[in-house]
Structure 1
Amino acid sequence: MSGKGFTTCLWFDGNAEAAADHYLSVFKDGKLGRIGRYTDAGPGQAGSVMVVEFEINGQQFIGLNGGPQFPFTEAISFQIRCADEAEADYYWDALTGDGGEEGVCGWVKDKFGVSWQVIPPGAIDLIADPDPGRAARATAAMMRMKKLDVAEMRRAADAG
C-alpha cells in the first residue's frame, strides 16, 4: 500500500480475512496486500490474523481483528456509484446475499455489518435537481424505496 491518500481501517471481530476475501470477490478491481499476524506479545492469539490489507476500486483498506467492542453502524457507509442499472443490480445482490440485508434509500448492510449505498446513474442528479419541486418529488419517491429505481424517481420528479 502506498503512502498517498487515506486508508480506511475496518474493525472486525475475528473475520477480517474472510471480509477481505469477500470484498475481493465482489469488487473485481481489487487486490490483497499484506497479512499481519498476532505474536506471543498478543493481545490476540499468536498466529491468528491481526490485520489484512486490501484494495478495492482504488480505495485502500485495512481489516483489523480487534474484537467485539466496536460493531459497525450505519453512521459510516461506502457509496458505490454505478455505471448502469446492471451494475447496481450486481452490487445490490452481491452485498445483500449470504446474510446481508436491504435497507432504505439504496442502503445495504453486508454480511459483516458494513453499510454500503448502491447508487445507480441519475439518482443523485434527480435529488439534487436545481428545481426544488422536482428534487422534492424525486426525494420523496426515493424515501419509499429500498433499492433505488431511477425511472420511478424520474417519473415522480416529472409529475409536478
Structure 2
Amino acid sequence: MAQKITTNIWYNGDAEDAIEFYCTLFDDAKITDTAPYLEDAHGEPGKTMIVNFEIAGQKFTAINGDDSAKHDHAMSLLVDCESQAEIDRLWDAILAKGGSEIQCGWIADKWGVNWQIWPGEADRYVMGPDKEGAVRATQAMYPMKKIDLQQLKDAYEGK
C-alpha cells in the first residue's frame, strides 16, 4: 500500500543542501527524484523546486520556497533511536552542521526543521508503570537538552 500522507517541508531555497545532509544521517535515506521550476512557476526556471526523498522507507517532499514560512517545534520529526550512541551521533551531527539545541531531546537543524532525537527505551521510564519512578524520570528529563538514557533509567530506579 502506498503511503497516504507525506510530510512536506518548506525550505528557503536550500532544500537540496538539507536533504543531502539528511542522507548522511541515515544509511537508508535517499533522494528519489527532483522537479525543476517551470517557466510559469514562482521560482527561477530550471532551478530545483521539489526534492522527493525517503528516510527509513518513509516518503518526504522538500520544496524550495522563500523565507515566508518559518519552522517551529509545533511540528517535528521524531527519530526513534535504538541506543545512546545513536542519540549522540545524530545530535552531534545536527549541531555540527549549524543546529541548535532546544530542550528534552528537541533540536533544530540549521534550516530550522525541528527534530526529536528520542530513544524508544526512554518511554519505559517516563511512562513506566512505577508512577513515582516515571515522575522522577520526567523531572530528570526536563533540564536535559540531549537525552541521557542512563540518567533517565537511574532516576526511574531511584538511584
TM-score (norm 2): 0.93
Tell me the secondary structure at the aligned position of residue 99 of structure 1. Answer: coil
CA positional deviation for 1:100: 0.4
Tell me the secondary structure at the aligned position of residue 108 of structure 1. Answer: strand
Within-5 A mapping of 1:60-71: 60-71=59-70
Superposition RMSD in Å: 1.5
CA positional deviation for 1:121: 4.6
Tell me the secondary structure at the aligned position of residue 145 of structure 1. Answer: coil
Q: Give the whole-Å Cα distance in 1 for the aligned partners of 2:49 and 2:2.
A: 21
Q: What is the match of residue 40 of structure 2?
A: 41
Question: What 5-or-longer segments of structure 2 have no aligned partner?
Answer: none
Matched AA of 2:50? V
Tell me the secondary structure at the aligned position of residue 122 of structure 1. Answer: helix
Within-5 A mapping of 1:24-35: 24-35=23-34
| Deviations, residues 20-66 of structure 1 (Å, cap 9, x unaligned) | 11111111111111111111102111111110101011111110112
Counterpart check, 1:151 vs 2:154: no
Q: What is the match of residue 118 of structure 1?
A: 117
Q: What is the match of residue 56 of structure 1?
A: 55
TM-score (norm 1): 0.93
Q: Give the whole-Å Cα distance in 1 for the aligned partners of 2:133 and 2:89.
A: 28
Work out whether residues 85 and 121 of structure 1, in 8 Å CA contact, stay in contact via their aligned partners in 2: no
Q: What is the match of residue 141 of structure 1?
A: 140
Question: What 5-or-longer segments of structure 1 have no aligned partner?
Answer: none
Matched AA of 2:105? G
Matched AA of 2:107? V
Q: What is the match of residue 76 of structure 1?
A: 75
Work out whether residues 53 and 61 of structure 2, in 8 Å CA contact, stay in contact via their aligned partners in 1: yes
Runs ≥4 in structure 1, deviation > 3 angstroms?
A: none
Q: Give the whole-Å Cα distance in 2 for the aligned partners of 1:137 and 1:27.
A: 32
Q: What is the match of residue 16 of structure 1?
A: 15
Matched AA of 1:74? H
Work out whether residues 31 and 54 of structure 2, in 8 Å CA contact, stay in contact via their aligned partners in 1: yes
Count of residues in correspondence between the two structures: 159
Matched AA of 2:101? E
Work out whether residues 82 and 121 of structure 2, in 8 Å CA contact, stay in contact via their aligned partners in 1: no
